[in-house]
Structures are given as C-alpha cells and as structure tokens.
Amino acid sequence: MNINPLDILRKKRLGGELTGEEIQAFVRGVVDGGFADYQTSALLMAICINGMTDRETLDLTMAMAHSGDMLDLSDIDGVKADKHSTGGVGDTTSLILVPLVACCGVKMAKMSGRGLGFTGGTLDKLEAIPGLSIDVDIDAFKAQVNRVGCAIIGQTAELAPADKALYALRDVTSTVDCLPLIVSSILSKKLAAGCDVVVLDVKTGSGAIMDTEAQSRKLAETMVRIGNMSGKRFSALITDMDQPLGDYIGNALEVEEAIDVLSGRAQGALKTVSLTLGAHILRNAGVVADVEAGKALLERKIQSGEGLRKFAEMIEAQGGDPRVAWDTSLLPRAKTLIDIAAEADGYVAGMTTSDIGNAARLLGAGRLHKTDVLDLSVGLVMKARVGDRVRKGDALCTLHVGERSDVDGAAALIRRSITIGPERPEARPLIRAVVE
C-alpha cells in the first residue's frame, strides 16, 4: 500500500488519529529514506503538539521494534527478564539486581547503552572492569544467559534502527520530552530484545528526565499500559532522584559500590531500590508470591555470597577479571582526592541532583557527545545525604580527579547544589509509587 507522506503529515497536523498502516509507512520511510528529514521532523512536532492515542502509541512502538532484528530468546530456558531505568545519578541498580535475580532462577538477558550526560551508562561502568567485553554476538549472548543465568551486553546496531534515526531528529527539534515518543523509544528496544518480563525504574526529581512526580507517574503509567498491551508483563516503580541514589558517582566508583552492596558491606537507598526492582521481577516471573517475599529471597542471596559469586561468574564469562569482586583495588583509581567542605553548621536541607551529576561529568566521568572519551577512574563520593547533620568543615563529598578534570568547575557545582539549613527537612519516600 503506497501512502503519501504528505497525507500522514496533514492528518496528524489536524489532530487526526493515524492508522496502523500509516504508522508502519512512516517508520518504514524513516529507515529506508522514503521520508525526508524535514518531513519526519514535521511529523514529530505534530505528534508532540497533538499527542497520540494508546493504540497509536502501541502501533508506533511495535513498528519501531520490528524495524530491525527481533531477538528470539526461545532457546534460553525459563523466564527471561529485563530492567530499564530512565536514568539518574549514582544509579547502579543493574549491576546489583542482574546477578541477584539470576541466582533465583530468572534469566537476566540485558542489553544496555552508553550514557550521555552525567556519567557513563551501564556499559561504561562495566568496561571499568579489566578485560571485560560488552561486545558479545547474539549466539554467545544467549549461550551465556543459558549457562550463567545473566549477561549485560551492548545493543546491536540492528536493534530498533528506527529509534536511532528518530532520536537524532528529536534531539534537534525539541521533541525529546514528548510522552508517546519517549514511550515508543524505550519500549521498542525492550520488545525487540525479546524478554518476557520487564520492570521499569522511572526516576522523579531534580536529577531525572521528569522532574515532577505527576510527570513521572504519567510516563510510568503509559509505559506499563502500552507494554502490557504488547503481550509482555510490565510494571514500574517511581523512585526518588532529588539526591543521588548511591553515594558513589562515576564509572569504576559505581562498580565498587555495587560490589559493596553484593558483598553485604553497604546498606542504603541504592540497595533498597535494587532489591525492590528485583523483587518485582521475581514476582512477575512467578518465582515468589509477592514483593516482600522477593526482597527476602534476594537478601538471602547477598548473605550467602551467591550474588557476589554470580557477578564474578558473569564478569569472567565476558572476559573480565573476576577477582574484582573480592578486590576492588583492581579497578581504575584516581590519583588525587579533594574534599568539598560544608561552609556552615546545620542540616543538609536539599540537593540539586543534576548539578552533582554535571560535576561528575566535568571531572571526566560523563560525556556530552558520543565521541567523548571517559576517564573511568574519576567521579565523586557523597559524604552526606539529605537530612544529615553537618558541621562547618565537614566533607560533603570527595572529588576523585584526573589530569583532565575541571576541578574548579566541579567544586563550584557541588557547593551550589547542596543546601545547608538550620532545621532537618521532612523525610520523603524513596519509592514514591508502584505502577502495575
């Protein structure tokens, strides 16, 4: 069926509902060049202004998923699961929950991306482990998931190519924050990756893509609704990003904190969110009856040492040095550490998490452009959290700096980001809501 791009543009510009055939023609045209960039940009803007129905969003998601390879994971035994985060600062949950959930019999077949912005993505963090490769072909990926129970690798170039083309134009047409386009972008890659169960971690607050809880809830509800319409099992948590999730921010630093959690040495918000996300996967996969039972099971895997051993097994399977799991000194280390001190007595009243993330980027832990080269050793370690009592001169955080680090710029952002007040602020919940 030959559909004129102008007819599609006109229909959506006037607020009409596109048919499945029209959406498929649009996605096909994006991939094969049948739509010029200016036509695609015009349609993205029309979608941004006029929105999409659930049926349109599902059709767009499925067309984007089918624009490239659809992974067939049927030869992997058991339930296959994945997790996606909308991104934040100190967000190292994948490195914790993937091996822990695998210990419980659910196969964690995870494809991740590289980070733009605050710090590297999951792949960059993993590459801080000496020798580890994230470039694993699909047959080896499936074999590893079958044998080990888990793998985290880079997305293939053939996975949802329409999303890559559309995102490049969304970035330059101010349509990145359009809800149906966000939903279809995230879900198309998850559906193409072939898992049965997906749990979403939707961040809210000053370090999140959605900075208000209402926006985050709308995004989570839409993704779960559209995801479940696709025939897969989706659920979502809305979690706080008004301060970094973990205390370690950087690539090697975040691997170190993940190991501390898996070894049982570290408690706190990062562990809480990781275990809660993992428990939802276990519940949705039918391993446990409810989330509380899932959290208890995952805690037992930490206490027994199984989770840390599984992480080491995954590292070794991907060519990395498994000794890192017991000796974090093998990770890249910054040579210079600089404390940023509190300038007054009081309580940590609040943080602007995006400033903290950008401070890590100025140190060299994150990238603005895909071609930027990271320093995997640098970053910062938070020494105080919201609500803590501090005295003038106490360290609020410690910068881990390298030769290319903008220390002055990072220090200025940290000082600006952390507010000290005379009264302890009211505690806010870490997990704001659950969307089923």
- Name the nearest CA neighbour of 335 among 377, 373, 364, 381: 377
- Among the options 80, 170, 233, 271, which is catalytic? 170
- Residue 280 annotated among the catalytic residues of the structure: no
- Name the nearest CA neighbour of 57 among 212, 186, 194: 186
Measured between alpha carbons, how far is residue 143 from residues 79, 81, 173, 322 in Å?
15, 16, 41, 19
Measured between alpha carbons, how far is residue 415 from residues 352, 353, 359, 376, 421 in Å?
10, 12, 10, 23, 14
Classify burial at 107, counting beta carbons within 10 Å of its beta carbon; exposed 0-12, middle 13-18, buried 19 or more. Answer: buried
- Among the options 189, 283, 295, 361, which is catalytic? 189
Q: Which residue has the tokens 């706080």?
A: 240
- Residue 164 annotated among the catalytic residues of the structure: no
Sort residue 239 into left (φ over 0), alpha (ψ -120 to 50) or beta.
beta
- Residue 84 annotated among the catalytic residues of the structure: yes
- Residue 66 annotated among the catalytic residues of the structure: no
Q: Which two tokens stand for residue 302?
A: 């930490």
3-class secondary structure per residue, 211-236: CCHHHHHHHHHHHHHHHHHCCCEEEE
For residues 144 and 317, the answer to whether their CB atoms sit within 8 Å is yes
Q: Which residues pair with 127 in a beta bridge?
A: none
- Name the nearest CA neighbour of 238 among 268, 257, 215, 254: 215
- Among the options 82, 91, 163, 355, which is catalytic? 163
Q: Which two tokens stand for residue 314?
A: 């995954």
Q: Which two tokens stand for residue 271?
A: 């562990």
CA dist., res. 195 & res. 193, Å (int): 6
- Residue 185 annotated among the catalytic residues of the structure: yes
- Among the options 94, 184, 185, 405, which is catalytic? 185
- Among the options 80, 84, 107, 361, which is catalytic? 84
- Read off the DSSP letter of residue 330: G
Residues tagged active-site:
84, 163, 170, 185, 189
